[in-house]
């Protein structure tokens, strides 16, 4: 296939690496100066400085050139960049099948990525999300990983998962678009919470409890939005949650660790130099949970830390002081 990967950050670059082993791939980035540097050095020095580009990966700063005659467009921007990129594609009258690898809820609208796509491309039916436990650096290095390709059009998900699948990046088809997107979005919020707990030295027992209860929150929200509980047991649910909450490469976990040190959010984000999607997503998730009357105490605690000047100690005391409840719904309840 001829594929355009739109977004030259760490994840877009890593996916371009993975897919150019079998397909003709062009990696597009908005920053022309960065793309010129990448072309000259054959490196993404800002995001993946230790991963030389494959010889057959094409680069472009011209969007119209990148998407000309493509069989598939893959948008790999932060969630904030999804709608602007889609509008540029619409302006160019691109009608190729579309995948995205954005994770989060759109700020302000609280829309999931597929809802943003539906607003901008209402008549395009061959669309889906690529999500799952996958650190960009490891994928770029050619280490094995597995992700989910989800679409409401299961035949599309099945066929394109088969086309993109490789021994090093295994791709599983799924028809639960909502559940996959919710899992990919909310796990970043839980990773911030887990980073705080780790930073405060609460130990591995607390970490396991927090991840498990975090999964319960994600599942409640996913089901309330129409997703499947089964997906929460899969790659985009527990798989992505475990990786992001425990992996040293997790930016969202790093946010939590630095919050536990007493650093301000502005300082933390400046030090990271990368987008930590859990920060803007936490607010949108809590807004959605309150509207749907879904109990999400860990998410609320993260929002207290990020946006209401609460200290990690205050938030932890509040969580630990909650009244006991049944782990699952009581019979007949």
pLDDT in tens, 22-75: 999 999 999 999 999 999 999 999 999 999 999 999 999 999 999 999 999 999
What local confidence, expressed as pLDDT, does residue 329 receive? 66
Catalytic, 187? Answer: yes
What's the chain's average pLDDT? 95
**From 187, 258, 263, 287, active-site residue:** 187
Q: pLDDT (tens digit, 9 = 90+) per residue, 70-95?
A: 999 999 999 999 999 999 999 999 99
Q: Which residue has the tokens 């990525």?
A: 113
Inter-residue contact 68 to 93 (CB < 8 Å): no
pTM: 0.94
Residue 331 above 50 pLDDT? no
- Tell me what pLDDT residue 248 has: 94
Tell me: the pLDDT tens digits for 193-220? 999 999 999 999 999 999 999 999 999 9
pLDDT tens column, 265-315: 999 999 987 778 999 999 999 999 999 999 999 999 999 999 998 999 888
């Amino acid at each position: 296939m001829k594929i355009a990967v739109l977004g030259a950050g760490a994840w877009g670059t890593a996916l371009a690496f993975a897919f150019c082993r079998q397909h003709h791939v062009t990696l597009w980035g908005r920053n022309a100066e960065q793309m010129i540097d990448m072309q000259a050095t054959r490196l993404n020095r800002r995001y993946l400085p230790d991963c030389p580009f494959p010889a057959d990966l094409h680069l472009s700063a011209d969007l119209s050139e990148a998407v000309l005659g493509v069989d598939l467009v893959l948008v790999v921007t932060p969630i904030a960049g999804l709608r602007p990129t889609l509008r540029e594609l619409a302006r160019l009258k691109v009608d190729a099948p579309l995948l995205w690898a954005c994770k989060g809820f759109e700020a302000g609208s609280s829309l999931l990525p597929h809802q943003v796509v539906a607003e901008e491309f209402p008549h395009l039916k061959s669309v889906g999300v690529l999500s799952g436990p996958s650190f960009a650096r490891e994928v770029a290095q050619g280490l094995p990983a597995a992700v989910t390709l989800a679409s409401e059009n299961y035949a599309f998900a099945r066929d394109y998962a088969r086309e993109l699948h490789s021994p090093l990046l295994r791709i599983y088809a799924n028809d639960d678009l909502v559940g996959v997107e919710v899992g990919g979005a909310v796990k970043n919020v839980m990773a911030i919470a887990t980073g705080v707990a780790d930073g405060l030295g609460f130990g591995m027992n607390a970490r396991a409890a927090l991840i498990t209860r975090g999964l319960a929150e994600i599942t409640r929200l996913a089901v309330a939005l129409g997703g499947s509980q089964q997906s929460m047991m899969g790659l985009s649910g527990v798989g992505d949650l475990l990786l992001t909450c425990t992996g040293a490469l997790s930016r969202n976990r790093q946010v939590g660790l630095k919050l536990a040190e007493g650093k301000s959010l502005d300082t933390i984000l400046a030090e990271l130099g990368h987008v930590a999607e859990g920060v803007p997503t936490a607010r949108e998730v809590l807004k959605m949970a309150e509207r749907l009357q879904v109990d999400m105490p860990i998410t609320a605690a993260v929002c207290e830390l990020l946006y209401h000047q609460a200290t990690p100690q205050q938030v932890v005391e509040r969580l630990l002081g909650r009244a006991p409840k049944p782990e699952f719904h009581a019979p007949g309840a």
